[in-house]
Structure 1
């Protein structure tokens, strides 16, 4: 007679959730409880691709942070925290960048990003991201964020939905830039296009406000980098 009993599992290795991982796990549970919706747009990344020619030390991430900060100033409702009974809108854009570090995912913050030029953003980003990967961030580095960006485009991910970084009202997910056939003013042509997906907390934002922010963001990414 053939036994139908499930095979015994080999002994696994348990790792307690501590520190950053434990905090992240708690926030993920809170994020899943929020009533969210997602909006996606296509962004022409032609001008973004010129970043090295304009500022040799800068990267695509720096352009994204600058564009997001400017869009947050244009649509300040998105630059917000959501509490149990209130929504708090902030006057400055403190933009977090999701970074995979030795202790798990961290989101170091570039404070007052709207006031920084591209070269200054690049310097600040290189500092905090470098320390994030070394596990050397301070509490100041990871607090006070008002908006976050998660960029998996460099890993070949075409499009994804990011989980809210509570208590922030929104987070931007950036997919890979690929050549796509689009219709231009003089006919079809190839353009480098990326999908940008905004996850919004519906307690603070509605679809029209989220769309307004994404339109402002796309406009900033298409604008000349020297402006």
Structure 2
């Protein structure tokens, strides 16, 4: 009997999932646990694995199509198994255009290059599009680019990000303030600790880890920043659920470290790396990107100093971290080299005013400039 593969429900609030790429075609064999498709929903992208060994009998949802959770997206069974009965049971069957025959490698190459598969001419057996066909089409596409405007469909993740950013700007009173922290002592402490951290805990401490710890300590000292505005009411939280923005190839994800105030610096560093890796691999669960009370975002790797982070609604604050740079500084009337870290804090002016927001950022700065406090 044919096995149904359905669109999974990645969280209680998920309403729709989209098939990004099919890795298999009708008639191809699959092994149990083998990746057959990629799907995305809101800020999550993940692989769908085959629940059984067999043959792809029918594909019900085409690439780029969004369907509710629980919808059958394909059937897997024996190669000679009739599919008429299951098609009759499928009330959501839709007429589909004829699918282009294309190898999985060629499909991935075409998607990476944003090539329209329908425009490719296959030279393989039965008109199948091969890797060589994609490579042959790339130079022609580059020539056309000089005279044409390329239109690329927006995927579900990009649409969600765009919607949330617009909602954030339209429904809150956002203001950004900046400071610079002298992290010369911090960089020295980081170097001193990393040998032990790597040897004992298999974890390298980064500046982001120290900033996250400093932000958590500061939120406990200034709870007004650890809050949100909702329906005319300000809700302040006792626990810190820290969102860490992670840049992806096709968007942005913000995994959440629950009860971050309970973690030591090493535990926090491990959590940041663990969830960052899950985000890059597209393996975050829906519940792992929900419930943050404050967010940290770092653009230092891109050479950015100060910038204007956009609030992650309904949070009242988000801390942006820029790139460190060396500059001359005075210490005890002596001019010497110092390392500066730019900080940018965006806050919701409906929740708190500039003075308490500045006090919070000053506390973050103080913890970074006296980094031993992050260890105690």
TM-score, length basis structure 2: 0.56
Matched, 1:216 2:353: no
Offset, 1:52: 4.4
Using the alignment, how far apart are the partners of 2:161 and 2:283 within structure 1? 17
Q: Is there any run of 5+ residues in structure 2 with no aligned partner, and where? A: 1-146
Matched, 1:53 2:200: no
Matched residue, 2:180? 42
Matched, 1:116 2:273: no
Structure exhibiting the larger radius of gyration computed from Cα positions: 2
Matched residue, 2:168? 31
Cα displacement string for residues 122-163 of structure 1 (whole angstroms, at most 9, x for unaligned residues): 111111000101111111211110111111112211211111
SS in 1 for 2:323: strand
Matched residue, 2:137? none
Structure 1 runs (4+) greater than 4 angstroms displaced: none
Matched residue, 1:22? 159
Select the residue among 226, 233, 236 that pairs with 1:79.
Answer: 226
Select the residue among 135, 138, 142 that pairs with 2:289.
Answer: 142
SS in 2 for 1:47: helix
Select the residue among 173, 178, 188 that pairs with 2:325.
Answer: 178
Offset, 1:96: 0.9
Residues 187 and 11 of structure 1, relative CA distance in 2, 3 Å threshold: closer
Using the alignment, how far apart are the partners of 1:118 and 1:172 within structure 2? 18
Structure 1 segment 147-166 matched on structure 2, within 5 A: 147-166=294-313
Residues 11 and 221 of structure 1, relative CA distance in 2, 3 Å threshold: closer
Matched residue, 1:6? none
TM-score, length basis structure 1: 0.90
Say whether the 8 Å CA contact 1:52–1:59 is kept in structure 2.
no
Matched residue, 2:77? none
Say whether the 8 Å CA contact 1:101–1:134 is kept in structure 2.
no
Matched residue, 1:5? none
Offset, 1:85: 1.2
Q: Which has the bigger relative contact order, CA under 8 A and spacing at least 6?
A: 1
For structure 1, which segment, 128-137 or 99-108, has the greater mean C-alpha deviation from structure 2 after superposition?
99-108
Offset, 1:189: 2.2
Residues 52 and 134 of structure 1, relative CA distance in 2, 3 Å threshold: farther
Cα displacement string for residues 145-186 of structure 1 (whole angstroms, at most 9, x for unaligned residues): 011111111221121111111111011111111112222223
Using the alignment, how far apart are the partners of 1:85 and 1:226 within structure 2? 38
Select the residue among 58, 63, 78 that pairs with 2:210.
Answer: 63
Using the alignment, how far apart are the partners of 1:214 and 1:11 within structure 2? 44
Using the alignment, how far apart are the partners of 2:241 and 2:158 within structure 1? 22
Offset, 1:22: 2.3
Using the alignment, how far apart are the partners of 2:282 and 2:247 within structure 1? 10
